[in-house]
Amino acid sequence: MTRIRHTTVGIIGGGPAGLLLARLLHRSGIDCVVLESRDRAYVEQRQRAGILEQGTVDVLRACGAGERMDREGLVHDGIELRYDRRAHRLDFPALTGGRRVMVYAQTEVVKDLIALQLDDGAPLLFGAQALAVEGADTDRPLVRYTHQGRQQTLTCDYVVGCDGFHGVARQAVPEHARRTYERSYPYSWLGVLADVPPSCDELVYAHSERGFALFSMRTPTVSRLYLQVPNGTDPADWPDDRIWDELDARAAIDAPWKLERGPLTAKAVLPMRSSVTEPMRYGRVLLAGDAAHIVPPTGAKGLNLAVADVTVLARALDRLHRTGSTESLDAYSDTCLRRVWRAEHFSYFMTTTLHTGPDQSPFDTRLQLSQLDRISTSPHAAAELAENYTGLPLK
């Protein structure tokens, strides 16, 4: 038996983008339904990003989701670049007029938003597998999905796809109406979690002839660490001691510094690629987050771009709700894509400047070192990096 429901905004995907959009719409008095294919435990344990831009922090605070973040998150005023056995720190507030970042794991953001949603928000259905989006170019698109063993239909005024690159929302846009731009990188990241306090107070981005390394953290007692590895790497080929030794070698500088070692609790290989699908709207179907774009993690932009998308979209839907004007909604794709392409370029810049390609020549390496030297010695180059890293203002 098919059960038919209707809502103003049907949101596919209960990750940070879908949950934040639902929260923002709820506060504007706009009804919505969130369909999430996985169960709650799975969603709350997915390991993803951990760096929040200033704008992301501001949005979470404004929608009532910032209390635990402000209590447990780690405010960072800069990052450190390591190269050629030297270290250089970028002071974000000094370079950007006061902007900074927050270390607070995406898993924690999701937990906070789920708790708010279940407490006083719009319906959030776990285990609701979206099967198809139909009628994107009509006034009443619908989502076919299964929930609790039954096929159901949700009709909507608008459908928002926050369900990733392979989700059904993206497929609802006909091939002739969309274009996808992609780039794959010839290396991956081996990411690990370690039950050990971070070796540095702030994130360290290390360039070396052995490959890139990133030293990050989740909490004051848990480190998040990454190593550049060849595509197709099996984490089983990297025992703990090998990982620690390689991290130590890639971060070596001619100054006192010690890498804190401890037990590794998780290992995974992350591919590096970029993707942008245009436009981000077709009819009454709108795409947000990974459904529209993917960035390599070097620039810490994935989660923050998703937050920017849904913030712009929530404002546009609020304007429609209050005034009847579709002007902001009609501009949604163009507004977001301007920011998306800047973030793609920044992520590309960070990735190609810091990683060592498999066919890299000594000439290529000297170009990278020259660029890193310029960032270290030019306030203008440093400010450009800092402004992009802390996040361009939402418009």
Positions annotated as catalytic residues are 76, 205, 297, 301, 389
Compute the residue count for the chain.
395
3-state secondary structure of 121: coil
CB atoms within 10 A of CB 176: 6
CB 305 within 8 A of CB 20: no
Cα separation, 55 vs 58, whole angstroms: 5
How would DSSP label each residue in 172-215? TS-GGG-EEEEEEEEEEEEEEEESS--SSSSEEEE--TT--EEE
Cα atoms in the Cβ-side hemisphere of radius 13 Å centred on 330: 4
Please count the helices (runs of H) and the strands (runs of E) in the chain: 13, 19
Amino acid 177 reads A
Phi then psi for residue 232, to 5 deg, are: 85, 5
Cα separation, 118 vs 262, whole angstroms: 37
Burial 138-151 (b: 16+ CB within 10 A, else e): eeebbbbbebeeee
Given the DSSP bridges, would you call strands 78-83 and 86-91 parallel, antiparallel or unpaired?
A: antiparallel
CB atoms within 10 A of CB 279: 17
Given the DSSP bridges, would you call strands 78-83 and 203-206 parallel, antiparallel or unpaired?
A: parallel
